[in-house]
Amino acid sequence: MKTKTIWVWAVVFGAVATGTMYLFLFNPGKQPASQTKIQTNSEKKDTEEASKSKQSNNQPAPNIKDGGVVKLSLAPGKRAISIAVNEVQGVSGFITPGAYVDVVVMVPTPEGENASAQILLQNVRVLAVGQLNTTPENSTKVSVYRTVTLEVLPIEGSALAFAAQKGAVSLMLRAPGDSSATANAHITLDQLNKGVISR
């Protein structure tokens, strides 16, 4: 009798142990949780790598200044000089690097003398507008700038600096390919009053 009881309890405990082991190893409720945790960690790693890549891509490229200015290319013997312009003096923003302009100056005259304006320089190459020395491709927007940098000879730069200091300077934009020169480039107040300017 005692031996039979022992065998019964042994069978019961064996069944319980087997059932517990089965539930522990093959319980379907536990496995997805483990998989979910693994997937979450993987996604987190991918997100961190993507964030690092994005931050790296947002950093500016080395040796490139803001606005795309790298250097000014000057012809031998020429100098670069910048003059301040407003919207009117700068042709309403239509001047672009590489264009050619004429420089008009109006210098105050001594009392009793007629005021005059003249074309000081003709067919001058524009090196930069503001801090841009290149024109963006496919750009349809008018530039906004307060300075224009011109390529001039040293004597021309000296005259332009003097005129800008003592009087008013305006720029006239030339058509592409136009290299003609104007002979009568000096206009007085008397000429304006008499209407001697013809086209």
Confidence of residue 179 (pLDDT cuts 50, 70, 90): very high
Residues 38 and 12 in one domain: yes
Which whole number is the average pLDDT over 7-25?
66
Residue 150 falls within a domain, yes or no? yes
Residue 199 falls within a domain, yes or no? no
Residue 198 CA: distances (Å) to CA of 24, 170, 184, 185, 194: 105, 21, 12, 13, 11
Give CA–CA dist 73/136, Å, rounded.
Answer: 17
Query: Could you list the residue range(s) of the whole structural domain that residue 174 is in?
Result: 66-194
Return left, alpha or beta for 190; rule: phi > 0 is left, psi -120 to 50 is alpha, else beta. Answer: alpha
Confidence of residue 193 (pLDDT cuts 50, 70, 90): confident
Residue 169 falls within a domain, yes or no? yes
Residues 88 and 172 in one domain: yes
Q: Is the pLDDT of residue 58 over 50?
A: no
Residues 54 and 70 in one domain: no
Residues 127 and 170 in one domain: yes
Residues 70 and 33 in one domain: no
Residue 184 falls within a domain, yes or no? yes
- What's the confidence (pLDDT) of residue 122? 96
Q: What percent of the chain has pLDDT over 70?
A: 57
pLDDT tens for 114-140 read: 778 999 999 999 999 988 777 666 566
**What's the total number of domains in the chain?**
2
- What's the confidence (pLDDT) of residue 182? 86
pTM comes to 0.60
